Amino acid sequence: MAPRLQLEKAAWRWVETVKPEEIRQEHINLAYRINLPACKRGTCRRNCKGNPNCLVGIGEQAWLGEIDENAFHNIDDPNSERRDKNTFVGLTNLGATCYVNTFLQVWFHNLELRRSLYQCHNSRAQEHNIESDYEPQSICEHLQYLFALLQNSNRKYIDPSGLVKALGLDTGQQQDAQEFSKLFLSLLEDTLSKQKNTNLQNVIQRQFCGQFSYVTVCNQCGRSSALPSRFYELELNIQGHKNLTECVTEFLKEEKLDGENRYFCESCQSKQNATRRIKLHSLPPTLNLQLMRFVFDRQTGHKKKLNTFISFPEQLDMGPFLEDQKCVYELSAVLIHRGISAYSGHYIAHVKDARTGDWYKFNDEEIEKMEGKKLQLGIEEDIAETVKSQTRKPKCSKGYHCSRNAYMLVYKVQEEESSDISRTNVEVPGEPYEFIPLEWLKKWLDDSTATKEIDNSLFLCSHGKLHPDKVAESKRVSLQAAQLLYERYSGGPRLDGSSLCRECVGQRCRVLRLKNQLNEDYKEVSNLVKRTLSGEGYWVGKASLRSWRQLALDQLEEDEHETKHSNGQTNGQGPHTNNSKEFGPELSEGNEDDMKTFNEDIVCCHESLSILETERKLVSAEVWTKLRAYFPKAPEFTQNQEPCQQCLTLEQEEKDNEAVSKMMALDQKNQLLNLFHEKNRPTLTKWPQGTDVLYIVPLFFVDEWRKFIRRPTKSSPVSNVGNTLLLCPHGGFMFTYDSLINGDAQHIALLWPNEWEVISRLFIVDQPISIHCFKDTPPSGPTTQYTTQPDLCWECRESFLFQQQRDLREYTQATIYIRKVIEDKRMVKDAAPEMNASSSEAEEEKEEHPKVDGERDPDFSQSEDGAKRLKLGDSSTASAATVPVTKPGGIRRSTRHRKLRGEKALIVSANQTLKELKIQIMHAFSVAPFDQNLSIDGKSLTDDSATLGSLGVIPESIICLKADEPIADYAAMDDVYQVRMPEEGFKGTGLLGH
């Protein structure tokens, strides 16, 4: 049996040609794998997952005993008589019954006839006890039984003697094959006419019967009379003809009635010369053409065989022989008589498989598949070469075949390709059945005394029926077996043939078809949206239109997951519902990454049509219909849909607010123009002349204010200065003049007195902060003193400095950088950031300091003499200055280190020894510890037992590495280092990046 995944694909392969509304019982049976062949003991070594009919390997060995594989393979019969996969079953020749076998194979491959026979009522078969052999009695029962064996038998060939005996045929004498065909169809028609099912009563007529009339015209009066008649085959004279068209033309040609053969005219009331011809009225779906190859020889008084070649087409157009009708047939079978005598020889059949289009040669027990889906008469035409025939085999055109042995041609009417799988899928009717959980059966076989009741509740779909996915975990048993199990163990709910869920199958069919159709529809929609719109249209979000294929795939996979069974839960609705909470206003800005539902990008927060016309596009009804198939729950907006009135009102209010914000920003900018452009800024290192006081505000306030000035409609106005952030809990200032000069100035901005007046007027100031300069000229020389208002809080200042120093000495899991240098020159001279720097970091920097045309970088402040102040995070700054300092209130400027090429980051702790650091460096740079020369700020690091904290290595430090000539064998480095430095190894510190 095929693996489980193959069985799954095969169970749903029909969806490619069947629409959900066209699903029939045959398709549901395929989805539930009802008709998969059951495995036999010995041919299946373990239970087939996915095949509900495989009952092998679930624990029955304890009851039935193990099969001796050697005994199975050493018996005389099995392999020699087992049917090969993907072929048909042959029929035994009982002596002279090859002509019977050929017709049986032809009729078996007539799927309509086979299906109808299976539907015939057979009370004896239904009431049959499976413990004994079934013996059919009537002709119909024999044919049913024989066809079922031809379809499902595992043997290469079967014995048709039951049917032959029922027909009363002499197995030792060859009968007239054409006569047998007529008599058998007539007998079968009579048998079926007695069926209660009206659809079965006229199966033979519907399949094989056509109508024509003998039309006679009197030469004297011109009177025309027609004698209607039915036919089951057309008997065509082949003598003197080269091809099938000539034979049909002669069959329908006009015949003269004169002399003794004159016609009695009803009008003339006398015998008159007349003409007679056959007029075709209708042709059957299966057209049997009997080639009159066996004719009566008047000289010998016996039948003889005509061995003349006849050409016949693979495609036969009968339209020219009918009045105003088109009727094209395809060749489906050729019956061959091999031999030179009408009373001897051998019959074989070439038959086309209606399901695959492959041709097979049926020669009693032997069956041969033709290559390339082509009819190949082959050796059948060479047998007659012993006949002294004057004719040579003519050349056949493409699409034609020539034969001197064909005596019957079977043509099937050409039909349009149908998605109805039932036309080519015919199954033998089975007995009533139920599904039992596989695991329950295993436990029952293992220990029936401890078995609990049967529980099918986990197998149910949302419709209360058997879920298609649970077929793989259940087994199909006979109704009789299920009845016995439920009587003893109870349980339920019981799942029988009526429990197959059409709704689940239909939904899965829809999803699978759409998944198969998606790429084709995507191309078509892409072309359709480019065309000029005519007629009524529908609004579709442009973002949705750009990404609809991926959205559709996600939706289909979700829908498919919903139809998948999950712990007995009923299938709920998908999470993508048109809920207003899902449709945030940002979706109207085309945020495709966050989009979950098609068209939600044009749905406002009020669940109405978005007012942003630029974000939507009008598409045709044809396009919308295709998209709607993939997104049935998507919000729909016609061309006449009015945009959301609430959003229009809010938009107007927002425009009014934006106008106010723009005016406010322009006014503030004009009043503080130098502060905005960072021009003419006061500095502490060179106290400006003409003033003895400067004012202090947080740099955070200035940055936020600049953001508002640059983008007044996107940023919120600043209302508070927030100087309290620079004060301690006691209200004292946290910085001194010296500390501001030595690095703390990164947190503040200095203002001129006139700027402070503007600031005090425009913003809410919680606490003014100023720094004052007092100059004195005592005899000892001029001095300058600086004080702040409020005064410095020494208690908090000392506590902060102590904590800062302790953090630098006692850090854990901090980052430092190792920079490898060559010949005392840095390997990387440029200051370009490392290529793998996080893009998110770059975005943060960009967002933190947006620039507009004509402006200088706001991270540089310009003094009066034009000198520029470097950014805090610049790598050339002293290591102590690069330490991120957190002030009370959480103010902290970005001090992100810009890693250079050739530089690597390591995670270290303050209590880690230099030896342990060297081992980390060895793994990062492949330089042995004893070849490492380390230094920080020009000071060499040599004491391997000293901690990094004691050596002055603080977070964000940069350590330079100069390497001696490296050891080639990197694997030996650890061993060598352990010899030179036998102290305890490092304590598991990690490498941050390579």
Reduced to 3 states (helix: H, G, I; strand: E, B; else coil), residue 230 is strand
Say how far residue 221 (Cα) sits from the centre of its chain: 76
pLDDT number for residue 882? 33
Query: DSSP class of residue 6?
Result: H
| DSSP per-residue string spanning 933-948 | EEEETTEEE--TTSBT
Q: Tell me what pLDDT residue 975 has.
A: 52
Query: 543 pLDDT exceeds 50?
Result: yes
Query: What CA–CA distances, in Å, run from 112 to 56, 108, 539?
Result: 34, 9, 50
Given a contact cutoff of 8 angstroms between Cβ atoms, the answer to whether 181 and 288 are in contact is yes
**Alpha carbon distance 265, 273 (integer Å):** 9
Number of neighbouring beta carbons within 10 Å of residue 918: 22
**Contact of 994 with 904, CB cutoff 8 Å:** yes
**What count of Cα atoms within 13 Å lies in the side-chain half-sphere of residue 351?**
23
Looking at per-residue pLDDT, the higher value among 407 and 858 belongs to 407
Q: Which residues are catalytic?
A: 98, 346
Fold of 76-123+135-202: Cathepsin B; Chain A (3.90.70)
Sheet holding 210-218, edge to edge: 224-231, 210-218, 274-282, 255-257
Residue type, 308: T
3-state SS class at 926: coil
**Parallel/antiparallel/unpaired status of strands 359-363 and 693-698:** unpaired
Q: Which residues pair with 263 in a beta bridge?
A: 272
Residue with tokens 């081992």: 919
pLDDT tens-digit map of 51-99: 888 888 787 776 666 555 454 444 444 556 778 777 899 999 998 899 9
Q: Phi and psi at residue 563, in whole multiples of 5°?
A: -85, -10
Quick check: 107 pLDDT over 70? yes
Q: How deeply is 945 buried, as exposed, middle or buried, from its count of CB atoms within 10 A (0-12, 13-18, 19+)?
A: exposed
* pLDDT score for 83: 80
Cα–Cα distances in angstroms (integers) from residue 968 to residues 277, 963, 974, 975, in the given order: 106, 13, 13, 14
At 575, the amino acid letter reads: P
In angstroms and rounded to an integer, the radius of gyration of the C-alpha atoms of the chain is 48
Q: For 521-525, which contacts have Cβ atoms below 8 Å and span 24 or more sequence positions?
A: 521/626, 521/630, 522/548, 522/549, 524/626, 525/623, 525/626, 525/627
How far is it, in rounded angstroms, from Cα 67 to Cα 735?
93
157 forms bridges with which residues in the sheet?
Answer: 90
Indicate the DSSP class of residue 590: T
At 220 the pLDDT is: 93
| Contacts of 217 by beta carbon, 8 Å cutoff, 6+ apart | 223, 224, 274, 275, 276
In whole angstroms, give the CA distance from residue 138 to residue 125.
Answer: 12
Distance of alpha carbon 839 from alpha carbon 842, whole angstroms: 5
* Cα–Cα dist 635/541, whole Å: 11
Which CATH architecture describes the domain 903-962? Roll (3.10)
Cα–Cα distance between 365 and 660 in angstroms, integer?
Answer: 97
Q: 105: alpha, beta or left, given left = phi > 0 and alpha = psi -120 to 50?
A: alpha
| Cβ atoms 216, 276 nearer than 8 A | yes
Task: Note the pLDDT tens digit of each residue in 433-480.
Answer: 899 999 999 888 887 777 789 999 999 998 999 999 898 899 999 888
User: In the prediction, which pLDDT does 90 show?
Assistant: 94
Predicted pLDDT of residue 131 = 56
Cα–chain-centroid distance for residue 165? 56
The token duo for 399 is 């699409």
Neighbours of 368 (CB within 10 A): 15
Q: What would the mean pLDDT of 313-322 be, rounded to a whole number? A: 94
How open is the CA angle 405-408-411, to the nearest 5 degrees?
130
Least trusted range by pLDDT, from 102-116, 292-306, 820-834: 820-834
Alpha-carbon distance of 427 to 422, in angstroms, equals: 9
pLDDT at residue 678, rounded to an integer: 93
Q: How far apart are CA 817 and CA 896, in angstroms?
A: 12
Which amino acid is located at 293 in the chain?
R
Output the pLDDT for position 80: 62
User: What SS3 class is residue 757?
Assistant: helix
Provide CATH code, domain 650-805. Answer: 3.30.2230.10
- For the segment 465-519, what is each residue's pLDDT rounded down to a tens digit? 999 989 889 999 988 889 999 999 999 899 998 999 999 999 999 989 888 888 8
Burial 972-992 (b: 16+ CB within 10 A, else e): ebeeebeeebeeeeeeebeeb
CB within 8 A of 550, min separation 6: which ones?
none
pLDDT tens sequence across 673-720: 999 999 999 998 889 988 999 999 999 999 999 999 999 988 889 999
Task: Give the C-alpha separation, 177 to 184, whole Å.
Answer: 11
pLDDT at 864: 35
How many Å apart are CA 919 and CA 942, to the nearest integer? 14
Mean confidence (pLDDT) of the chain: 80
**What is the predicted pLDDT for the residue at 793?**
85
Contacts of 206 (CB under 8 A, 6+ apart): 284, 285
Q: What is the DSSP letter of 381?
A: G
Residues 6+ apart with CB under 8 A from 987: 912, 916
Q: What is the pLDDT of residue 447?
A: 79
Are 30 and 434 within 8 A, CB to CB? no
First and final C-alpha spacing in the chain: 52
Cα 351 to chain center, whole Å? 39
The dihedrals phi and psi of 55, each to the nearest 5 degrees, come to -110, 25
* Nearby residues of 575 by Cβ (< 8 Å), 6 or more positions away: 558, 596
If you ran DSSP here, which 8-state letter would residue 687 be given?
P
Q: Which residues of 478-498 are buried (b: 16+ CB within 10 A; e: fewer)?
A: eeeebeebbeeeebeeebebe
Query: In angstroms, rounded to a whole number, what is the distance separating the alpha carbons of residues 607 and 350?
Result: 67
What's the rounded Cα separation, in Å, for the pair 298 and 296? 6
How crowded is residue 69: how many other Cβ atoms within 10 Å of its Cβ?
10
Q: What is the DSSP letter of 263?
A: E
Calculated CA dihedral for residues 357, 361, 362, 366, nearest 10 degrees: -120
**Domain boundaries along the sequence of the chain:** 4-75+425-504, 76-123+135-202, 531-560+595-643, 650-805, 903-962
- Tokens for 669, please give them: 């900018």
Higher pLDDT, 622 or 382: 622
pLDDT digits (tens, 9 = 90+) for 924-970: 999 999 999 999 988 999 999 999 988 989 888 999 999 987 555 55
228: cis peptide before it, omega within 30°? no
Dihedral over Cα of 70, 76, 78, 80: its sign:
positive
User: Are 76-123+135-202 and 650-805 in the same CATH fold?
Assistant: no
Contact 108/186 with Cβ under 8 angstroms?
no
Are 455 and 437 contacting, i.e. CB atoms less than 8 angstroms apart? Answer: yes
User: What does the CA dihedral 893, 894, 900, 902 come to, rounded to 10 degrees?
Assistant: 110
DSSP-derived letter for residue 526 is H
**Is it the case that residue 893 has pLDDT exceeding 90?**
no
What pLDDT, on the 0 to 100 scale, is given for residue 494? Answer: 93
- CB distance 256 to 275 below 8 Å: yes
Phi/psi region, residue 813 (left: phi>0; alpha: psi -120 to 50; beta: rest), is left
CA distance 405 to 423: 32
Task: Give, in words, the CATH class of 4-75+425-504.
Answer: alpha beta
Task: Report the number of secondary-structure helices (H) and strands (E) in the chain.
Answer: 29, 37
